[in-house]
């Protein structure tokens, strides 16, 4: 009897550890919003108006119906987004959206004509974005897609090429997202050099609407 209890205890512990590993299976590298924009096929602002679970694959897929407010990137992929697909399980990086509550910035990739997103993509309630992030999504970020944002986790850090911007938010005690993520874009300047940019320049004034994008 004692051996049976011991076996059951071990199975319980193993099962608990297995569940913990399953729920913690989704792991994403930190990404500056500009990188998220540049690496996405689709970038839109939309309100999520419905959802439907689909029996696709072993764990299922959630299909969200969206009302697209504005498309910032992806015109060559899809003219108008009506549905967003994501894994049904958060442990597999599936993302959850509130229905009929908020407008979201949604980024994702296109496969077989469908838009897929997840926890490792940049999805955020529109109201929580800084003004600089909104302007970046509207125009600035695309000016820096040929630049490389280089994360700095430990000092010392150095840029190794002219097209790099050193991203130091991870060194801050305030955590991510940090000041550079919320207020700066890495923009390509003259002769291919890239540098952090904030504020309005004469070039911006003619290309960026100063109102909320």
Instruction: Say which CATH number the domain at 87 has.
Output: 2.40.50.120
Same domain, 107 and 147: no
Residue 19, pLDDT above cutoff 60: no
List the domain range (segments joined by +) for residue 161: 131-197
Same domain, 161 and 148: yes
Q: What angle do CA 197, 208, 73 make, to 5 degrees?
A: 90
What is the distance between the alpha carbons of residues 186 and 198, in angstroms, rounded to a whole number?
9
Q: Is residue 208 part of a domain?
A: no
Residue 56, pLDDT above cutoff 90: no
pLDDT of residue 30: 86
Tens-digit pLDDT profile for residues 72-100: 999 999 989 999 999 998 888 999 999 99
Same domain, 101 and 159: no
Residue 108, pLDDT above cutoff 70: yes
Q: Are 149 and 167 in contact (CB under 8 A)?
A: yes
pLDDT category of residue 5 using cuts at 50, 70 and 90: very low
Q: What is the mean pLDDT of residues 65-70?
A: 97
57 or 61, which is more confident:
61
Query: The domain that contains 165 carries what CATH number?
Result: 3.90.370.10
Of 142, 144, 127, the closest CA to residue 212 belongs to 127
Q: Is residue 105 part of a domain?
A: yes
Same domain, 78 and 101: yes
Q: Is residue 30 part of a domain?
A: no
Q: What is the mean pLDDT of residues 157-185?
A: 86
Residue 34, pLDDT above cutoff 90: yes
Q: Is residue 22 part of a domain?
A: no
pLDDT of residue 29: 86
Q: Is residue 32 part of a domain?
A: no
Same domain, 149 and 78: no
Residue 43, pLDDT above cutoff 70: yes
Q: Is residue 83 part of a domain?
A: yes
Same domain, 84 and 135: no
26 assigned ligand-binding residue: yes
Q: Output the average pLDDT for the chain.
A: 83
Number of domains in the chain: 2
Residues 6+ apart with CB under 8 A from 199: none
- Given 98, 127, 156, which residue is the final one in a domain? 127
Same domain, 123 and 137: no
């Amino acid at each position: 009897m004692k051996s049976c209890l011991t076996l059951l205890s071990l199975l319980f512990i193993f099962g608990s550890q297995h569940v913990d590993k399953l729920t913690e299976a989704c792991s994403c590298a930190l990404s500056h919003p500009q990188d998220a924009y540049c690496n996405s096929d689709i970038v839109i602002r939309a309100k999520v108006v419905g959802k439907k679970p689909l029996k696709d694959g072993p764990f299922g897929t959630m299909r969200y119906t969206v009302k697209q407010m504005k498309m910032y990137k992806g015109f060559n992929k899809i003219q108008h987004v009506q549905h967003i697909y994501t894994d049904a399980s958060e442990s597999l990086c599936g993302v959850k959206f509130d229905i009929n509550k908020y407008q979201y910035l949604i980024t994702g990739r296109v496969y077989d004509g469908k838009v897929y997103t997840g926890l490792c993509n940049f999805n955020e309630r529109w109201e929580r974005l800084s003004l600089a992030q909104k302007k970046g999504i509207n125009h600035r970020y695309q000016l820096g897609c040929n630049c490389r944002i280089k994360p700095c986790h430990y000092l010392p850090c150095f840029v190794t090429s002219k097209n790099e911007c050193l991203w130091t938010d991870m060194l801050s005690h305030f955590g991510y997202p940090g000041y550079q993520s919320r207020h700066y874009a890495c923009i390509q300047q003259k002769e291919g050099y890239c540098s952090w940019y904030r504020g309005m320049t004469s070039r911006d004034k003619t290309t960026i609407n100063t109102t909320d994008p």
